[in-house]
Structures are given as structure tokens and as C-alpha cells.
Amino acid sequence: MAEIDKIAWIHLVDGRVLSTRSHGRDAFYFPGGKREPGESDLQTLVREIREELTVVIDPATARAAGVFEDQAHAHADGVRVRMTCYTASYEGTLRASSEIAEIAWLTYADRARVSPVDQQIFDSLNWG
């Protein structure tokens, strides 16, 4: 069984969570992406968020927020995604890069608009 190793950023503000939709996709995803060979979790997090949202994550503020696994959205049956999630502070202005079609601030009511693994994360968040 194939597994996708992804690192994701959870940024929850005032009961809304930052999410992104890539070009050609119908679901929203937590920002982040796949690890490059030899990268640590934090190196992947910093690189991916800079590439997708043009901001700089402060690695000193990164905190583990859980590991979640599910069927990978838009992949063949049996392909799983393992998403290691972090919270962290950032510097800069959030802007969608060329690889991101849309940035959205979602609430729990938007749960059906995200991928299956992101739905698990939605269920685990303290939305208060």
C-alpha cells in the first residue's frame, strides 16, 4: 500500500482555520506538502508554507499538533496520506502563490469541503 508523507500547518484564528485549494482540485487542504529527501519535519514545513503562502514560519514556535492518516483524496483506492501537523507563528502577509488557486478561512461548518484526512483534523480541533 502506497503512503504519502505530508507535513501540514494548522493555523486557527477566531474559530476559523486557514486552508488552501490547489489548481485543478475540488477540495481544500491544510497548507503544507511532501517532504524532500533528507528534510526534517520543520524544514519541510518552512519550505512548503513559503512556497504556497509566501510567509516565513518561525521554527522556534512550531508545536506538534498530531499525526493523522486516511485515504488520500484524488488518488487511487489504497493510497494513504500520513499528515504530520504543526502549529507555528509566521512573519509576512498571507498570499496565494502560483501553485495555490485559493486561500480560505474555514469553519467547522465547511468540514465537507475538505479532504478526508483534513476532516479528521477538523474533528480534533478546539474550535472555541
**What 3-state DSSP class applies to 45?**
helix
Helix (H, G, I), strand (E, B) or coil at 38: coil
- 127 band by pLDDT with thresholds 50, 70 and 90: confident
Q: Given a cut of 70, is residue 1 above it in pLDDT? A: no
pLDDT at 128: 60
d(CA 118, CA 112): 10
- Burial of residue 23 (CB within 10 Å: 0-12, 13-18, 19+) is exposed
Could you read off the pLDDT of 17-76 as tens digits, one per residue?
999 999 999 999 999 999 999 999 999 999 999 999 999 999 999 999 999 999 888 888
Backbone angles phi, psi at 70, to 5 degrees: -165, 175
Note the pLDDT of residue 76. Answer: 86
The predicted model gives 72-93 an average pLDDT of 94
Cα–Cα distance for residue pair 87/30, rounded to 1 Å:
11
Report domain extents, the chain: 3-124
What count of other Cβ atoms lies within 10 Å of the Cβ of residue 15? 12
Residue 111 CB partners (closer than 8 Å, separation 6+) = 119, 122, 123
For 3-124, CATH number out of 3.90.79.10, 3.90.1150.10, 3.30.450.30, 3.30.420.40 equals 3.90.79.10
